Amino acid sequence: MTGIFYGIGVGPGDPELLTIKAQRILSDIDVLCVPKSRMEKDSLALTVVKNAVAREYKILELEFPMSRDQKLLEKCWREAGAQVAAELLSGKNVAFITIGDPTLYSTYGYLLRYIREAHSEIITSTIPGITSISACSAFIQEPLVEREEKLAIIPAAYNLDDLRSVLDLFDSVVLMKVNKRLPELINFFKEIDNVETYYVSRCGYPDEFSTSKLEEIEGKNLDYMSLMIVKKAR
């Protein structure tokens, strides 16, 4: 009998924001898959789990490159998927943990697709987590949207070419992982006078920070775990 493959969102960083269901499953699985990029010294998702669940795990560390090379990425996804499948086929229950939610810009989706296509006999289960978007909105105490307002989410690390058009169409826009693009974003928003902008960094961690005054962070070294919430002025 094969094991069950779980994709578990561990929330934005605060261990108290791990869901009860996620904690229950993490207390019972056999193998913990930990995604890492070469830039990370320690896995943020693993840190959350260690602070919320008091037990030791067999760790399967999966390294994924920060690359836009599609062939390289697909090779890494296949290799990681094969490693995970080997554990599952031996009868072990395996959990892949990810910061935030596993269905929102998470590598988990690629592994899930591999497992379902290559090993249809394996049972899979996805456990949602609190997203950084929701956590940041709560931290600054500003609703993302109200009534009939529309929301857009953009991975700012890759695509800002059509930002002006997006702002015309949507009432609120979330720009994900903005640290490397912030100088051009600051200059862009200096020319836009009908929006409110909020920068949030490391939400859910002890050093979480937010500001609605972008000039306060201009020229500073900014954390990878950061986003911007942009809202049309009411």
Q: What pLDDT is attached to residue 95?
A: 97
Sequence ranges of the domains in the chain: 4-127, 132-232
Domains 4-127 and 132-232 are alike in CATH topology: no
Q: What pLDDT is attached to residue 40?
A: 53
CA gap 148, 157 in Å, rounded: 28
Mean pLDDT (whole number) for 68-86? 87
Share of the chain above pLDDT 90, in %: 65
Q: What pLDDT is attached to residue 159?
A: 63
Mean pLDDT (whole number) for 115-131? 96
User: Which top CATH class is 4-127?
Assistant: alpha beta
User: Which top CATH class is 132-232?
Assistant: alpha beta
Q: How many CB atoms lie within 10 A of CB 202?
A: 18
3-state secondary structure 36-102: ECCCCCCCHHHHHHHHHCCCCCEEEEEECCCCCCHHHHHHHHHHHHHHHHHHHHCCCCEEEEECECC
**Does position 17 have pLDDT exceeding 90, yes or no?**
yes
Mean pLDDT (whole number) for 9-36? 95
Q: How confident is the model at residue 196 (pLDDT cuts 50, 70, 90)?
A: very high
Mean pLDDT (whole number) for 209-213? 93
Least confident of 35-49, 72-86, 104-118: 35-49
State both tokens at 16. Answer: 């108290």
Instruction: Name 154's bridge partners.
Output: 175
